[in-house]
A and B are shown apart, each in its own frame.
Chain A
Amino acid sequence: MTPDISLSQVPAHARHGSSIGRPLTRREGVLKVTGVARYAADNHPAGMLYAVLAASRIARGRVTCLDVPAAMAHPGVVAVMTPANRPALALDPDAKLHPFMFRLDLLQSDAVRYANQPIAVVIAETLEAATEGAALLAPRYEALPARVGLDAGESFVPPVVGVGHPAEQLVGDVEAGLASAARRVDATYETPAQYHNAMEPHAVVAAWDGDSLSLDMPSQGMAMAQARLAGLLGIAPENIMIRSPFLGGGFGSKGLIAGPQVLGILAARLVGRPVKLVLRREQMYGPVGHRPPTRQRLRIGAGADGTLTALAHHALITTSTFDDFFEPAADASHTLYASPAIATSHTAVRIDTGTPMFMRAPGEATGSIALESAIDEAALACRMDPLAFRLKNYAEVEPISGKPFSSKALRACYAQGADRFGWAGRPLAPRQMRDAAGMLVGWGMGTATFPALMFQAEARAVIRRNGGGVVEIGAHDMGQGAWTALAQIAADAVGLGIEQLEFRSGTSDLPDGGIAGGSAHTATAGMAIHAAGGEAVARLAELAMDDARSPLFGAGNAGVVARDGRLFRRDDESRSESYADILTRAGLAQVEGRGKSGGDPAAQTAYAMHAHGAVFAEVKVDPDLGQLRVTRLVGAFAAGRIINPRMVRSQYYGGMIWGMAFALHEEAVTDRRSGRMLNANLADYHIPVNADVPEMEALLVEEHDPHVNALGIKGVGEIAITGTGGAVANAVWHATGMRARRFPIRIDDLV
């Protein structure tokens, strides 16, 4: 008999004593505020050496000479690893066995394909000696002209964009829609290359013991890193132990193991001692991914009443010369605005750059700022309020597919956000508002959206006779609060208070928690935990219901509910028994459950699944100097069930600041002659600081989604970048009447 334990699973947040939904503080918070939390680079095994990369100063060509003797002669230098002596690999780092396998630069040749590519590694007794050794290598090069920027070569249609999406998609007849439109917008927007710039540089501390490898290394995907390393090194994945208890941010750049981390591991193999390799900040602009630049053309047609007749979105993007990552920027136009005709397309140019990579809202962020700007321009062309225009074209079904949404509380987001911001009464025309100091004031808005994805994960749950429980999953906390949110789900899954639960995570010897990316970690890992806990509870229920001495004997189809360490008969809550009593009588120390998660293909076929939001921004611009400040940001987001509002609000704030930075700050500038980045440091690559940040508010809009997964969880990590960039850009236009179509917006665009 399979006991019916459904009540313990839905709706978990509504139950008495439930952990889900509570704004708990971060479980590892005390470790972090006291400096005790041990990040990868804080480890220092006995006998450890330091490795420092030498990185290419040219963007294309080859290394003709490295002064290895000079480096070796420096006191403290133990070894120099170059293509000549790098330990052999079991797999060519340029092999691409599946689309998710990205090519790595592991000293396979003297060829240079981008600036800052690793060309050698110096290993020494001290960091200073290794650094000096790397400088003494004094590389010489044979350089070829670097190909830089969106116009560097012939563009082509990529085979796919993003993760296996078609590069071109079409519904309806866009040209006919444009031809019949009463109002038209045809505008081109440019976005720059950006770098993740997690505050923690990529690091690895590697120690070999025979054919076993022990690693302290920040990772958003330990199981994938394990598999990748196993292939490269020719050892069994289970011989690789990864510890990644804390990541100092990832944002996608730590999703796949980075080349320099593998080089640290190879350096340890070469010297037969533990090795620490930490990238210097300036070395992070090349081998660890970035968001590529885009040039996007939006063509929008609308009837005189503001109803869209056509939406065409083309994105030109760059990628590297040696691998295939194509930022799916135009796909942003698939989901938000109803139009009888939609065409999205991509073309790409290969340039001398490190391969671009998933960076927080890859495609969604780049596409959103262009789309939301263009929608604003279309609203103006129709002489409509931007919010009214968006409501006029509200998508009741997903425009590109015609599928119904699994849930969509975007109207509530618009209403609550607009209300809190005070949007009503905004003048249509620009340059109408001034503050007491004479600054021009502008208000803008944007719609936010991000797909609700699910990957695969596994978890293990144990309920013990002593009244405690253990849930294990190799999940990743890169700051988003996974340990806290997943522990909350785990406590509910096994029907225990969170204090009774031991939650183990962050190492690769635990069940594979999937990848922390795509804003899908809480849903994916959470569902695996939910399933594992459900199975452990089902074991207990079987024991009780089959035992004549249990008050739950024969509960059968009525089923039981698990809560606070007890099972209750669902139809009669006065009949219950503690886990401890059930296990004691059965003579068992514990029961165990295992669970897996993955998307539900039937639901995914039937429904379009997305989180939504609305962002409102106020900016003030000095009319004479063009100086610009964002003064208020209000976002309202609906993303299914919220496990921990405190963590989620934090994610939204962080995302909104990334959106603001997209509009106003971030930009990698590449020297056209050398192909080298000119601002490869945190002084010149601008990310916002405290003094740039406005008053912020993030509203959590209630949304119940019965289809995304049994817990009703969407994702919150990336959505807030989308919408915000456009909101800020539109506010700048509203303040000044000047439409900047090249991001980040500069003072010289406004005076």
Chain B
Amino acid sequence: MSKIHVTTTVNGEPAEFLCQPGNSLLDALRDDLNLTGSKEGCSSGDCGACSVIVDGRLVCSCLMLAVEAEGKSITTIEGIANGDVLHPLQRKFLEHAALQCGFCTPGFLVAAKALLDHNPDPTETEARYWLAGNLCRCTGYDKIIRAVLDAAAEMRAGAPAGE
């Protein structure tokens, strides 16, 4: 079967890869672009471990075809930090111990970034429902919410984005 050439932008950099029509974006990211930060927990859209932002929209990359990435701009967990400077969400996740095994963490961070991009001042309920598509089996969730709300407050206050 002939492969399809896809040209896209990943984390601000031009990227291209060859894929088959049935390949998921998650597989293209992980196998072809070697961006293994996005995880596969279910490949059925139920866990959010594969979350990425595509043209400003939060999507489960396991449910999107790789060919659909043509001409799009994609943000993955690898693109959240600014070089060596962690994003406030990443710092707050560490501070609040909002991760344990870390398998769900890339998805949560990407989903939380998408939330704050849309809504810099979410209520606790808004944050909980926005992040309800991301499963975590370890942390008990509460600290994730604390971390997200704390990061949002810091970003609104315009505090330095890293240290």
Mask of A467-497 contacts with B, CB within 8 angstroms, 1/0? 0000000000011110000000000000000
Q: Are B42 and A682 in contact (CB under 8 A)?
A: yes
Q: Are A650 and B100 in contact (CB under 8 A)?
A: yes
A38 closest partner in B (C-beta)? B36
Cβ contacts under 8 Å, B119 to chain A: none
State whether A688 and B141 are in contact (beta carbons under 8 Å apart), knowing that A33-B93, A34-B37, A39-B39 are contacts in the complex. Answer: yes
Cβ contacts under 8 Å, B132 to chain A: 689-691
Mask of B82-107 contacts with A, CB within 8 angstroms, 1/0? 00001000100111010111111110
State whether A281 and B44 are in contact (beta carbons under 8 Å apart), knowing that A198-B101, A690-B128 are contacts in the complex. Answer: yes
The stretch from A167-175, A243-251, A372-380 touching chain B is A243-251
Q: How far is the CB of A681 from chain B (nearest CB, A)?
A: 6
B129 closest partner in A (C-beta)? A691
Q: Which of A652-709 contact B (CB under 8 A)?
A: 652-657, 681-683, 687-691, 693, 695-696
Is B6's CB within 8 Å of the partner chain A?
no
Mask of B54-97 contacts with A, CB within 8 angstroms, 1/0? 00000000000000000000001110110000100010011101
- Tally chain B residues at the interface, Cβ within 8 Å: 59
- In Å, the complex CA distance between A32 and B94 comes to 9
State whether A199 and B131 are in contact (beta carbons under 8 Å apart), knowing that A33-B109, A650-B97 are contacts in the complex. Answer: no
- In Å, the complex CA distance between A478 and B1 comes to 40
Is A15's CB within 8 Å of the partner chain B?
no
Mask of A641-653 contacts with B, CB within 8 angstroms, 1/0? 0000011011111
Q: Are B137 and A198 in contact (CB under 8 A)?
A: yes
Mask of B28-62 contacts with A, CB within 8 angstroms, 1/0? 00110011111111111011010000000000000
Q: Are A35 and B78 in contact (CB under 8 A)?
A: yes
Cβ contacts under 8 Å, B135 to chain A: 199, 682, 687, 689
- In Å, the complex CA distance between A201 and B128 comes to 25
Please tell me which one of the listed residues A38, A39, A479, A691 contacts residue B100 in the complex, with CB atoms under 8 A apart: A479
Is A272's CB within 8 Å of the partner chain B?
no
A683 closest partner in B (C-beta)? B46
Cβ contacts under 8 Å, B95 to chain A: 25
Kindly name the residue among A655, A682, A690 whose own CB sees the greatest number of chain B CB atoms within 10 A: A690
Q: Which of A108-139 contact B (CB under 8 A)?
A: 126-128
Q: Are A696 and B99 in contact (CB under 8 A)?
A: no
Q: Are A199 and B80 in contact (CB under 8 A)?
A: no
Q: Are B44 and A35 in contact (CB under 8 A)?
A: no
Q: Are A691 and B46 in contact (CB under 8 A)?
A: no
A651 closest partner in B (C-beta)? B100
State whether A200 and B138 are in contact (beta carbons under 8 Å apart), knowing that A35-B77, A690-B131 are contacts in the complex. Answer: no
State whether A36 and B37 are in contact (beta carbons under 8 Å apart), knowing that A26-B94, A42-B30, A650-B139 are contacts in the complex. Answer: yes
- In Å, the complex CA distance between A111 and B23 comes to 34
Cβ contacts under 8 Å, B133 to chain A: 689
Kindly name the residue among B38, B94, B95, B145 whose own CB sees the greatest number of chain A CB atoms within 10 A: B94
Kindly name the residue among B30, B44, B103, B134 whose own CB sees the greatest number of chain A CB atoms within 10 A: B103
- In Å, the complex CA distance between A127 and B40 comes to 13
Cβ contacts under 8 Å, A478 to chain B: 101
- In Å, the complex CA distance between A197 and B101 comes to 13
Q: Are B129 and A30 in contact (CB under 8 A)?
A: no
Q: How far is the CB of B7 from chain A (nearest CB, A)?
A: 21
Q: How far is the CB of A140 from chain B (nearest CB, A)?
A: 26
Cβ contacts under 8 Å, B41 to chain A: 199-201, 281, 682
Q: Are A479 and B102 in contact (CB under 8 A)?
A: yes
Q: How far is the CB of B18 from chain A (nearest CB, A)?
A: 12
Q: Are B141 and A657 in contact (CB under 8 A)?
A: yes
Is A384's CB within 8 Å of the partner chain B?
no
State whether A247 and B94 are in contact (beta carbons under 8 Å apart), knowing that A128-B22, A650-B139 are contacts in the complex. Answer: no
Is B25's CB within 8 Å of the partner chain A?
no
- In Å, the complex CA distance between A26 and B85 comes to 18
State whether A650 and B140 are in contact (beta carbons under 8 Å apart), knowing that A25-B95, A481-B100 are contacts in the complex. Answer: yes
Q: Are B94 and A199 in contact (CB under 8 A)?
A: no
Is B144's CB within 8 Å of the partner chain A?
yes
Q: Which of A22-62 contact B (CB under 8 A)?
A: 25-26, 28-39, 41-42, 44
Cβ contacts under 8 Å, A26 to chain B: 94, 97, 99
Mask of A132-162 contacts with B, CB within 8 angstroms, 1/0? 0000000000000000000000000000000
Q: Are B90 and A199 in contact (CB under 8 A)?
A: no
Cβ contacts under 8 Å, B128 to chain A: 690-691, 693
Q: Are B86 and A33 in contact (CB under 8 A)?
A: yes
Cβ contacts under 8 Å, B97 to chain A: 25-26, 646-647, 649-650
Is A383's CB within 8 Å of the partner chain B?
no
Q: Are A199 and B44 in contact (CB under 8 A)?
A: no
Kindly name the residue among A35, A127, A201, A654 whose own CB sees the greatest number of chain B CB atoms within 10 A: A35
Q: Are A35 and B46 in contact (CB under 8 A)?
A: no
Cβ contacts under 8 Å, A695 to chain B: 142
- In Å, the complex CA distance between A649 and B95 comes to 13
- In Å, the complex CA distance between A689 and B140 comes to 9
Q: How far is the CB of B71 from chain A (nearest CB, A)?
A: 23
Q: Are A30 and B86 in contact (CB under 8 A)?
A: yes
- In Å, the complex CA distance between A127 and B34 comes to 15
Cβ contacts under 8 Å, B23 to chain A: 128
Q: Are A690 and B141 in contact (CB under 8 A)?
A: yes
State whether A681 and B44 are in contact (beta carbons under 8 Å apart), knowing that A32-B99, A33-B105, A479-B100 are contacts in the complex. Answer: yes
Q: Are A199 and B104 in contact (CB under 8 A)?
A: yes
A35 closest partner in B (C-beta)? B37
Is B149's CB within 8 Å of the partner chain A?
no
Q: Are B38 and A35 in contact (CB under 8 A)?
A: yes
Q: Are B99 and A29 in contact (CB under 8 A)?
A: yes
Q: Are B37 and A199 in contact (CB under 8 A)?
A: no
Q: Are B139 and A199 in contact (CB under 8 A)?
A: no
Q: Are A246 and B102 in contact (CB under 8 A)?
A: yes
Cβ contacts under 8 Å, A281 to chain B: 41-44, 46-47
Q: How far is the CB of B152 from chain A (nearest CB, A)?
A: 15
Cβ contacts under 8 Å, A479 to chain B: 99-103, 138
Q: Which of A421-435 contact B (CB under 8 A)?
A: none
Cβ contacts under 8 Å, A696 to chain B: 140, 142
State whether A480 and B100 are in contact (beta carbons under 8 Å apart), knowing that A25-B94, A653-B142, A696-B140 are contacts in the complex. Answer: yes
Is A278's CB within 8 Å of the partner chain B?
yes
Cβ contacts under 8 Å, A480 to chain B: 100
State whether A690 and B134 are in contact (beta carbons under 8 Å apart), knowing that A199-B41, A280-B43, A650-B100 are contacts in the complex. Answer: yes
Q: Are A200 and B129 in contact (CB under 8 A)?
A: no
Q: Are A693 and B140 in contact (CB under 8 A)?
A: yes
Is A438's CB within 8 Å of the partner chain B?
no
A34 closest partner in B (C-beta)? B81
Sorted from nearest, which 7 A-B pairs have the closest CB atoms? A35-B37, A479-B101, A248-B103, A653-B140, A32-B102, A479-B100, A35-B77
5 A-B pairs whose Cβ atoms sit less than 8 Å apart in the complex: A39-B36, A249-B103, A281-B47, A693-B140, A693-B142
- A34-B81, A75-B1, A653-B141 provided; 17 other pairs, C-beta below 8 A? A26-B99, A31-B102, A35-B38, A35-B106, A41-B40, A42-B30, A128-B20, A199-B41, A199-B137, A249-B138, A251-B137, A650-B143, A682-B42, A682-B44, A682-B135, A689-B134, A690-B128
